[in-house]
């Protein structure tokens, strides 16, 4: 079997490594102004001010964009592009939304094109985007190492912009930045990272190069997530989950995802929901069906989780979700929708790559069954 591994950004890991950010910025030629895309909570906590002050001491001006919430929307991208005019570099600090916004606008500012110009690979990306430094403060999306970037288009549907041009040039993984993440978000994000690794290690596109990272991600996350949820100050556990999320991002950058992400993207097409929660719910609803395939890759992934075989995965995952405090329910905005609505979204064009990559053929009957299972969950609890 032949395969290739896509480029991996320069990664700096460890508690306190963010202190090296000003020197890192100065190591890039010609950077006089940066656009800092940062979560509003982090901006209000003083982190944006601290970063701006430290960069100012290094002779670098900072333009801050934090006017976004939830998953990235086209309007957020437009606003960030406007704020970022004149910038030479983009620094993304926060969860996956901050990182995806930063990576997309680094291309759009350089080219002058609207993000929709690049949606669903409609046109080639700018060959010379702004330089990008990504600093994840949640351990979930793996966006810091990925060439895939998600946003909601003008109709609210999830779209993606893909290409190596969107990748970070440098990544800071500082587990101290994840300590303030609430328990529910730690759990949701951690399950998202776990599922990234699992799907990359087991879908039709998998290969040994990606599995090297995916299996290590599975080991790290299964060994540390519960501790990170219950003991948020445990830096070792936080670090393992953060590193696992990064490795999982490398894995999906090479192999993509599968049916659980088809479900979660479809849910997001109906109403706002945290991506990690939606993916965890989709994963649990489809896992027993998936593991019936009993492939060597599924069994290898199970072993990386400390299990004997793939047949043990459904019970293990459900018990693990229980211990991490994940409530099986959908937000209140899902009340008007039923299984047919979710099934329609699962069949939508933009969600077919995840359907096709699943190791088992996903029939329309399978989609109807999965949609019924997910939409039968309580809503608004």
| Average confidence (pLDDT) over 72-92 | 97
* pLDDT over 80 (residue 94): yes
Both tokens of residue 241? Answer: 């989950």
Whole domain around residue 224: which residue ranges? Answer: 183-376
CA 339 to mean position of chain CA atoms = 26
Q: Are 192 and 175 in contact (CB under 8 A)?
A: no
| Predicted pLDDT at 287 | 98
Residues 246 and 309 in one domain: yes
Residues 107 and 219 in one domain: no
Residues 192 and 164 in one domain: no
Q: Are 170 and 274 in contact (CB under 8 A)?
A: no
SS3 172: strand
In a domain, 153, yes or no: yes
Residues 221 and 349 in one domain: yes
Per-residue pLDDT tens digits for 8-22 = 999 999 999 999 999
DSSP β-ladder status, 158-162 and 148-152 = antiparallel
* pLDDT over 80 (residue 101): yes
| Predicted pLDDT at 71 | 86
| Predicted pLDDT at 141 | 87
DSSP β-ladder status, 89-94 and 131-136 = parallel
Residues 318 and 348 in one domain: yes
Residues 323 and 240 in one domain: yes
Rg, the chain, Cα only: 20
Residue 139: which H helix or E strand, with range? none
Give how many domains the chain has, as a whole number.
2
- Grade residue 70 by pLDDT with cuts at 50, 70 and 90: confident
CA dist 352 and 356 (Å) reads: 6
- Grade residue 31 by pLDDT with cuts at 50, 70 and 90: very high
CA dist 215 and 255 (Å) reads: 13
> Exposed/middle/buried for 293, CB within 10 Å: 0-12, 13-18, 19+?
middle
Looking at residue 309, what DSSP letter applies?
A: S
Residues 71 and 191 in one domain: no
């Amino acid at each position: 079997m032949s395969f290739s591994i896509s480029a991996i950004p320069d990664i700096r890991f460890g508690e306190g490594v963010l202190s090296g950010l000003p020197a890192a910025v100065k190591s890039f030629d010609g950077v006089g102004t940066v656009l800092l895309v940062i979560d509003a909570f982090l901006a209000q906590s003083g982190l944006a001010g601290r970063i701006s002050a430290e960069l100012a001491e290094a002779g670098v001006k900072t333009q801050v964009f934090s006017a976004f919430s939830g998953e990235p929307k086209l309007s957020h991208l437009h606003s960030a592009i406007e704020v970022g005019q004149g910038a030479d570099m983009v620094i993304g600090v926060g969860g996956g939304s901050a990182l995806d916004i930063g990576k997309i606008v680094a291309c759009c500012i350089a080219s002058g094109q609207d993000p929709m110009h690049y949606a669903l690979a409609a046109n080639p990306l700018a060959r010379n985007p702004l330089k990008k430094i990504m600093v994840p403060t949640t351990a979930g999306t793996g966006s810091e190492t990925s060439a895939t970037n998600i946003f909601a288009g003008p109709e609210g549907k999830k779209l993606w912009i893909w290409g190596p041009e969107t990748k970070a040039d440098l990544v800071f993984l500082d587990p101290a930045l994840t300590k303030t993440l609430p328990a529910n978000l730690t759990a949701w994000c951690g399950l998202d990272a776990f599922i990234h690794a699992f799907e990359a290690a087991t879908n039709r596109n998998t290969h040994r190069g990606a599995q090297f990272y995916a299996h290590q991600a599975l080991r790290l996350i299964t060994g540390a997530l519960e501790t990170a949820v219950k003991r948020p100050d445990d830096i070792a556990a936080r670090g393992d989950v953060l590193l696992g999320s990064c490795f999982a991002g490398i894995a999906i950058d090479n192999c993509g995802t599968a049916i659980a992400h088809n479900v979660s993207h479809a849910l997001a097409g109906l109403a706002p929901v945290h991506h990690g929660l939606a993916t965890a719910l989709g994963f649990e609803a489809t896992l027993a069906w998936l593991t019936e395939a009993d492939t060597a890759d599924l069994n290898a992934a199970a072993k990386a989780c400390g299990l004997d075989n793939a047949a043990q995965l459904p019970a293990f995952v459900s018990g693990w979700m229980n211990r991490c405090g994940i409530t099986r329910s959908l937000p209140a905005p899902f009340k008007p929708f039923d299984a047919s609505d979710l099934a329609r979204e699962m069949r939508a064009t933009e969600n077919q790559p995840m359907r096709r990559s699943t190791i088992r053929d996903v029939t329309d009957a399978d989609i109807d069954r999965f949609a019924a299972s997910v939409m039968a969950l309580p809503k608004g609890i």
